[in-house]
Structure 1
Amino acid sequence: MASASLGGLRIGEVGVQAAANGHAAHCLAGSTTLGSRVRFALRSPLGSGWNGRPMIEGKGAFADRGTVAATDAGRALLHELFRRSRVRADCVGCSGAGVQGMRIAERAEALLDGFVIGDPTVAVARDMQRVQRNLRAATAYPLSLPKLRVLSASVMQHCDPKDGATDGIVSDPSRCDFDIRSLACTAGTDGANCLTTIEQVAAALIYSGPRNSAGEAVAPGLPLTGSEDCGGFCDGRIDGFKRFAEDWPWWFLGGPTSNLDVLAAPAALLNGRALGVAVYDQYARDLGWAGASFMQTCDFFRLFLVPGMQHCEGGRALDDFDAVDALVRWVENKEVPNTLRARSRWNSAFPGRECNLCPYPEVSTYVGSGSVDSPASLRCTLPGG
């Protein structure tokens, strides 16, 4: 590999990475392309055991040209190594890397065969307004972690049963009609299990979202999820990125409310650009579930909301699901992913539980009998169905 002559592609360090953390031993090559302005790493199997499917993992770099150049260079390297005439490639990323995937899907969709896009913050300027609004609200009107736990538990108690089962997950936050005022402390008092007027104001501001001087909404507020007190995994541990300690819940900071993972089949998302704006900018909130603009994309697009999940993982949620395998079967075998089987990756509150994530606009609903830990006890239905 190090001696390969591939035009402007420069290969730096090459070495074998030993098997570790569930990953098989593999070759790691650090490379540059586009006049050494774009750096990338290629991890490839040893020997002839490759399945012929490179996975482009987003890293949050939004420059379209860099992603295109790295993808083309990586394919050239793989062809040199394995002599495959056909190299399929899919893009996978979450958060900033999800934005990267979305931009490529919109602007260079022919480059890749499919996309798994998770929790993209597409409208960054607007979302940062919400973050700053929430931080100011939480500073001006303090709402402590113990009181957040009171709020979160009350939301869960009120809205968890709305899907027919009390199972510790609010399956459809859009149906949650919890009234913060029901937690009001007696005038002039401050109890452990109630909210003072100031604390109610803080919660109301964060739920309602920022508005301009005319009172018009600038960004949607945060949903009623029952995970308001989560600092990542809801059990006192910080999240996998070691950013949010227990006393700074994601809800406080105003992270993306979408909690979504997206499967996009190999078709031009340019055809669905209006949809992309509607879903990502309004978090599926202002998009009528029977809207023609959404339904027209169902031949190449699936949106899965993950109830209770924090940003990309964690939360009171079943956050472990294989969207990549579902995408491969969709791209290569035309098997449309009508559900995604999910388990709990981090939260110990749901041992052994499995469920099927539903494609938007469908939501998970209890059938009326059987264990809530079994997918057979739940079905995907349209809201109100």
Structure 2
Amino acid sequence: MTRRIYLAFGALTAMAALAPLTQAHAGTCESLVGQKVGGGTVVSAERMASGQKLSLAGAAALFPIPPAKAAFCRVKARISPVPQSEIDVEVWLPETWNGKFVGTGGGGFSGGLEIAALTLNPIVAKGYAAATTNVGHPAGDSAKWAYKQPEKLVDWAHRGNHVTAQFSKALIAAYYAKPAERAYFQGCSNGGRDALMEAWRYPEDYDAIVAGAPAAPWTRDFTAMPWNIRAQDGPPAVNFSPAKLKLVNDAVMARCDKLDGVQDGVLENPLACRFDPKELQCKANATSDCLSGAEVKALRALYQGPRTRDGRQISTGLAVGGETVEWEGWITGPKAVHRQMSPEFFRWMVYGDETWSIDRFDLERDYAEAVNRVGSIVDSDNPDIRPFLKRGGKLLIYHGWADAALPPGNTINYYNAVRSKAGAKADQVRLFMVPGMAHCAKGPGPSLVDWLGALDTWAQDNKPPERILASKPEDFNAAFMGQPTKTLRTRPLCAWPAVARWNGKGSTDEAANFRCVASK
């Protein structure tokens, strides 16, 4: 349960005030039960009052569940696009509607339904109708549900979110007696993969999309995970204790923190930092104040990322500067998520062999098998999204530089490839790299961002965002839940490849004192 909640947090991103609430609902909640619309059947429909307690098992250990922030009709439905599919969906229909619809993505191997009370509540509070889905199977840490179940794999990979969009839009039109004016999708981590899958495979589903830290190159990401573990397991094996990771991070910051003009423990652009862990290598006997030769080798591998014997890069490596942020939880700790999660992919999605383990991992063989067997189903990093852009679609991508779960460099490469393909439509795609942000949120840098609000503004005024405000609250969880907490710092996020630079005057904790400039 703990690992699933950790991964599902990738589906939770901050959402703030947006469009005014204007349109009251036309139908009654109870009358929806049993209706067949958009390929699905409504199983239940319950009116939820503002302030009413919401039940949620999936994230109860991570967050206190807030009460309903607005009155809405909570619809549960089932969609069966093929005989082997049973896709559960929730659609929340606010009593006072702003005329728009938001679909949400999942995290890890799950679709996001188990955390609906967290993800949908703040969206509906702003007047949006919103939906989420289990993409055809119960949430969990394991991918065993995919074993000899090709249709369930397709449901999780892309079909589940597509049919959820179709059903939700039909339900909305029936309930409010008018279709949604605009449809948006947002997701982070696997939800980011979901988002890019929608833009690529189903360009008609949504008008504008937010893709955070996208696991779009799924086969490459999940090949990098066992590579990261094997880089530490050796031989010889190394153990990066928190103290060793701090030693490395301190050296990175000493060399590069001031490159952006502000010494704040955050690298604005890690690509500008020239750091080689060899400078920390022990001169004689290994101690806690230096790195052994094996540790230097392992670190270089983690920063470099997996390469085949002929030098072909499979995935980018980790960015410098985030060693003390998430590395222990995702990569270096005894219960690291990469160590636990990557075997699930190869066991159940690739090989159908429950005995597969990381000690059997071979980069050349296993990457090729993953691509050949499931790549065309699960990967969503095809950069040709011209049909989506042709119909006016907007794509806003973001990724944290301190993300240890998924390498941020892969997202930059995808963005560059999309813009290259897009031609005259390239301005309909924006990427924002977030300094110091961990996987989807948190970290030492300002990471609380109203991504949905930025997308909505862009969709309405048709002006691509060049600068988005990020804040660092004293208590991130409280801020996310809409509770009062002190704001410690604000910074502008700049449309990549621009970066933020302090103007030399005023507080370095205030975004107004920064400008966006070309990265060096």
- TM-score over 0.5 for the alignment? yes
The correspondence of residues 21-100 of structure 1 with structure 2, limited to 5 A, is: 21=66, 23-34=69-80, 37-46=86-95, 49-59=96-106, 60=111, 61=135, 62-100=156-194
State how far apart, in whole Å, the 2-side matches of 1:270 and 1:206 are.
39
Asked if 2 retains the 8 angstrom alpha-carbon contact of 1:354 and 1:373, the reply is yes
State how far apart, in whole Å, the 2-side matches of 1:26 and 1:286 are.
38
Asked if 1 retains the 8 angstrom alpha-carbon contact of 2:449 and 2:470, the reply is yes
Equivalent position of 2:217 in the other structure:
123
Q: Does 1:174 align with 2:174?
A: no
1:268 is paired with a residue of what secondary structure? helix
Asked if 1 retains the 8 angstrom alpha-carbon contact of 2:467 and 2:495, the reply is yes
Could you tell me which runs of 5 or more consecutive residues in structure 2 were left unpaired when the two chains were aligned: 1-28, 54-64, 112-134, 136-155, 343-384, 398-406, 477-485
Taking structure 2 as the reference length, the TM-score comes to 0.61
The correspondence of residues 135-284 of structure 1 with structure 2, limited to 5 A, is: 135-139=229-233, 140-190=237-287, 192-224=288-320, 226-231=321-326, 268-269=388-389, 282-284=410-412
Asked if 1 retains the 8 angstrom alpha-carbon contact of 2:172 and 2:179, the reply is no
Cα distance change of structure 1 residues 85 and 297 upon mapping to structure 2, 3 Å threshold? closer
Equivalent position of 1:259 in the other structure:
none
State how far apart, in whole Å, the 2-side matches of 1:110 and 1:287 are.
21
Cα distance change of structure 1 residues 316 and 297 upon mapping to structure 2, 3 Å threshold? farther
- Counterpart of 2:491, as a letter, is C
1:308 is paired with a residue of what secondary structure? coil
Asked if 2 retains the 8 angstrom alpha-carbon contact of 1:152 and 1:227, the reply is yes
Query: For 1:293-337, what per-residue CA distance to the aligned partner results, in whole angstroms no more than 9, with x for missing partners?
Result: 577444211111111222111222211101111111111222321
1:120 is displaced (CA, Å) by: 1.0
Asked if 2 retains the 8 angstrom alpha-carbon contact of 1:16 and 1:28, the reply is yes
The correspondence of residues 5-16 of structure 1 with structure 2, limited to 5 A, is: 5-7=35-37, 8-16=39-47
Q: Does 1:322 align with 2:450?
A: yes
2:209 is paired with a residue of what secondary structure? strand
Equivalent position of 2:509 in the other structure:
373
1:63 is displaced (CA, Å) by: 4.4
1:25 is displaced (CA, Å) by: 3.8
Q: Does 1:363 align with 2:490?
A: no
Cα distance change of structure 1 residues 214 and 30 upon mapping to structure 2, 3 Å threshold? same
**Larger mean Cα displacement after TM superposition, 124-133 or 7-16:** 7-16
- Counterpart of 2:516, as a letter, is C
Cα distance change of structure 1 residues 252 and 183 upon mapping to structure 2, 3 Å threshold? farther
1:120 is paired with a residue of what secondary structure? coil
Computed over aligned residues only, the root mean square deviation of the Cα atoms, in angstroms, reads: 3.5
Cα distance change of structure 1 residues 250 and 187 upon mapping to structure 2, 3 Å threshold? farther
Cα distance change of structure 1 residues 189 and 112 upon mapping to structure 2, 3 Å threshold? closer
Asked if 1 retains the 8 angstrom alpha-carbon contact of 2:430 and 2:495, the reply is yes
Cα distance change of structure 1 residues 285 and 357 upon mapping to structure 2, 3 Å threshold? same
1:219 is displaced (CA, Å) by: 2.0
Asked if 1 retains the 8 angstrom alpha-carbon contact of 2:317 and 2:409, the reply is no
Cα distance change of structure 1 residues 75 and 215 upon mapping to structure 2, 3 Å threshold? closer
Equivalent position of 1:334 in the other structure:
462
State how far apart, in whole Å, the 2-side matches of 1:270 and 1:52 are.
23
Cα distance change of structure 1 residues 295 and 9 upon mapping to structure 2, 3 Å threshold? closer
- Counterpart of 2:441, as a letter, is E
Equivalent position of 2:25 in the other structure:
none
Taking structure 1 as the reference length, the TM-score comes to 0.81
- Counterpart of 1:42, as a letter, is V
The number of aligned residues is 356
Query: For 1:241-299, what per-residue CA distance to the aligned partner results, in whole angstroms no more than 9, with x for missing partners?
Result: xx8997667899999xxxxxxxxx99724799xxx9xx98843259879x865774442
Query: For 1:166-204, what per-residue CA distance to the aligned partner results, in whole angstroms no more than 9, with x for missing partners?
Result: 1221000100112212212231241x3222222212211
Could you tell me which runs of 5 or more consecutive residues in structure 1 were left unpaired when the two chains were aligned: 256-264
Cα distance change of structure 1 residues 345 and 131 upon mapping to structure 2, 3 Å threshold? farther
**Larger mean Cα displacement after TM superposition, 372-381 or 29-38:** 29-38
